[in-house]
Structure 1
Amino acid sequence: MNNNLPLVSIITVNYNESQVTIDLLTSLRHLTYKNVEVIVVDNASPNDDPSIIKETFPEIMLITSEENLGFAGGNNLGVKVAKGDYLLFINNDTIVPEHFLEPLVETLQKDTGIGMVSPKIKFHWDPSKIQYAGYTPMNKWTIRNQSIGYHKMDDGSYDTEGVTASIHGAAMMVPGHVIEEVGMMNEMYFLYYEEHDWAEMIKRAGYSIYYQPKSYILHKESLSTGKNSPLKTYYIARNRIVFARRNFSFKYLWFSMLFQTVVSIPKNLITFLLKGQFEHLKAFSNAIFWNLTHFKLTK
C-alpha cells in the first residue's frame, strides 16, 4: 500500500453473478494504483453463494444484505463502510485495465470543482466500439438522454476530456466529501436513472460532471437484469417519470408530462400490444400506475 496516494474505495454490487464478480476482481488485482479497498455488496442473491467471492479474494470486504436493495441501495451499503478519500462505483459486469484508476484520481485532485467523473466505457464484446463518452443533456420532453459516441469506433474521435451532462453508473468516481455534502443515491429508484438523479443533486450543489477518456473500462452490459426484460421495462418507464418529477421545473415538468400522456405512453402501449409482448405491456402499465398512485416522492 502506498500511503502517499489517496485511498480509493472500490464498491461493486453482486446479484446472482459470483463468477462475473470474480472476473472483475481478478482484473482489479492487477491495478497499478495500490492504495485501494475493495467492497463487494451481495444484494441477497437467491440463486448464488457469494461466499466463493470472499474465499477467492480474502482481501476484499464482503457485505451480505438481507434483502435486495437495488443498485442504489446496494451501493449505499458500501458507502456506509467505505473509508476512501474517493469512492469508485463500478458494475460487477466490467473488466478494468491495470492503469484504470490513476487518470480518475488525478482528475479529481486537480479540480475540486468536479463532483463526479466517469471513464470512457467500451463494449466487452467488441472493445473497438464505444458505449459511453459523455452524455447529452436530458431532453425535457422525452426525459431521455443520449450516450455520446454510442456504438461508434474508438478511433480517437472521443478522446477529449471535459464537462458532460451526466455520469454513467457502470463506473463513476465521487469524492467522499461530496457524498457527505450532497448525500447518497436515492434508493427509491431501485434500478435505472438513479445515477442521473444523483448527478443532478451534485450539480445543484455547484459541482460539475466530468468525462475522462484517459481511463476506460470494458462493459458486458445488463447481465443481471436482462437486455430486454420486463423488469427493465418497468423500472425504466417508472423512473423516467420519477426523474422528471424530482428534477424538472414546473414548466418543463408540465411539458414533459403532456408529451408522455399524448405521445409516449400510448405509443409504448400500442407497440407492446401489437408485438404480443404482454409481459412488457403489463410491466409498462404498472410503471405508469405507480406514478399515478405515488404523489409524494422521497427527497
Structure 2
Amino acid sequence: MDLSPLISIIIVNYNGADVILDCLRSIYERCSSVTFEVIVIDNASSDGSLGQIHQEFPQVSLLTQDTNLGFGKANNIGVRYAQGEFLFFLNSDTLIPTDILLSLLTKLTQSSDVGIVGPRLLNTDGSFQLSVSKEISILGEFQTLQQVRRYRDQATRKSLSQLYSHDQFVDIVVGAAMFMRRSLFQQVGGFDETFFMYLEESDLCKRVRDLGYTILYTSDISLIHIGGYSVAKASETMAKEYRRSQRYYYKKHRPVWEQWLLAAYLSCKSWYTNYAR
C-alpha cells in the first residue's frame, strides 16, 4: 500500500517564531481530509524558531540552511524533498481556519487547464485582503497600483472585495498561498532563484500561463494571512530588493521599450528623492 502523502505543504521560515508555530498548529489541528506532509525550510533563523518547531512538531520535515537563501530557492529545496503529487506553498504567517486541502484539490483538478489555485486571503479580523495582481508590465503595475489604492481606502474597499467574491481567472496570485501539481512545477523549472524576494510568484505564474494554463483565484476557499511579517523586519533592504527584482523581471519578460521606460522612471524617482527636497 502506498503511504506517500498526497499533498506536500511547503513553508519557508525566517525568524518567524511569533507566527509559524500558530501556522503549524492550524494545519495539524484542522486538516485531515487528505494525506499530507509539512516541509519547513529554515533560512538561517536566529530567533529560536528552529528549536521550537523541532520540539513541538517532530513530524515536520525540517530542512535547515546555513544562510538566508531567499523565498524561491528555499521553496525549490523543499520541493526536492517533497513526496506529494500536489504542492501547497504556504507563508509562515498564515492560519488555516478550516480543512481546506480537499477543496483546493477539487478546484485544481476540476479542469486540466488550471495550473495554480490561489485561495481568498483574509486579514486577522476576517476582512478581505487583496491577493491578486495584474501582469507585471507598465500598464499592469499601474492597474495594480490603482487596486491597491482602492483597497487602502475604506470607502472603496468593500466594492473591491465584491469584485473578488467569485471564482475567476487572474494573472497573478500572491505567493502566500499557492496550490499546484508538482509535475507542472517541475515542468516550468520551479521558482527562478535569481529573485531573492518579490515577484518570484509573479514570474512563476507568468511561466505557467505561457504554457497555456490558467491561474485560478477562488473565493470559496479562505485562509488568514497576517502579511509582511519577515519583510517588515528589514523594510529598507527589501525596498531595494523589490527594485532589483522588478528590473530583472522586465529584462526577462518585457519588451525593450518597457525596460527603458522603467529605467527612466526609476532614475527620475531617485533624483527626486535625493535632490528635490
**TM superposition score category, shorter chain reference:** 0.7 to 0.9
Counterpart in the other structure of 2:137: 139
Is 1:161 aligned with 2:167? Answer: yes
C-alpha distance in 2 between matches for 1:67 and 1:106: 37
The Cα shift of 1:6 comes to 7.2
C-alpha distance in 1 between matches for 2:6 and 2:274: 48
Normalised to the residue count of structure 2, the TM-score between the two structures is: 0.87
> Any idea what the Cα deviations from partners look like across 1:166-213, whole Å, max 9, x if unmatched?
121000011011012111101111100011111111111221111011
CA contact (8 A) 1:143 1:241 kept: no
**Unpaired runs of 5+ in structure 1?**
276-299
Residue from 240, 259, 262 that aligns with 1:260: 262
The Cα shift of 1:142 comes to 7.3
- Root-mean-square deviation over aligned CA pairs: 2.5
Percent of aligned positions with the same letter in both sequences?
28
Counterpart in the other structure of 1:36: 36
Counterpart in the other structure of 1:71: 71
1:110 to 1:93, Cα distance in 2 relative to 1, 3 A: same
C-alpha distance in 1 between matches for 2:216 and 2:99: 19
1:104 to 1:142, Cα distance in 2 relative to 1, 3 A: closer
Bigger proportion of residues as helix: 2
The Cα shift of 1:273 comes to 5.7
C-alpha distance in 2 between matches for 1:8 and 1:226: 30
C-alpha distance in 1 between matches for 2:67 and 2:233: 23
Q: How many residues align?
A: 267
After superposition, where does 1:181-200 map in structure 2 within 5 Å?
A: 181-200=187-206
CA contact (8 A) 2:126 2:224 kept: yes
CA contact (8 A) 2:6 2:36 kept: yes
C-alpha distance in 1 between matches for 2:96 and 2:275: 41
The Cα shift of 1:68 comes to 1.2
CA contact (8 A) 1:141 1:259 kept: no
C-alpha distance in 2 between matches for 1:227 and 1:68: 14
Counterpart in the other structure of 1:21: 20
The Cα shift of 1:228 comes to 7.3
Normalised to the residue count of structure 1, the TM-score between the two structures is: 0.81
The Cα shift of 1:54 comes to 1.8
Q: Which amino acid is the alignment partner of residue 164 of structure 1? A: V
CA contact (8 A) 2:14 2:45 kept: yes
C-alpha distance in 2 between matches for 1:242 and 1:219: 27
C-alpha distance in 1 between matches for 2:233 and 2:47: 19
1:143 to 1:22, Cα distance in 2 relative to 1, 3 A: same
The Cα shift of 1:156 comes to 5.0
1:139 to 1:65, Cα distance in 2 relative to 1, 3 A: same
CA contact (8 A) 2:23 2:93 kept: yes
After superposition, where does 1:1-299 map in structure 2 within 5 Å?
A: 7-29=6-28, 30-124=30-124, 126-132=125-131, 134-140=132-138, 143=141, 146=144, 150-151=151-152, 152-153=157-158, 157-226=163-232, 229-248=235-254, 252-254=255-257, 256-271=258-273
C-alpha distance in 1 between matches for 2:55 and 2:176: 25
C-alpha distance in 2 between matches for 1:6 and 1:47: 30
**Unpaired runs of 5+ in structure 2?**
none
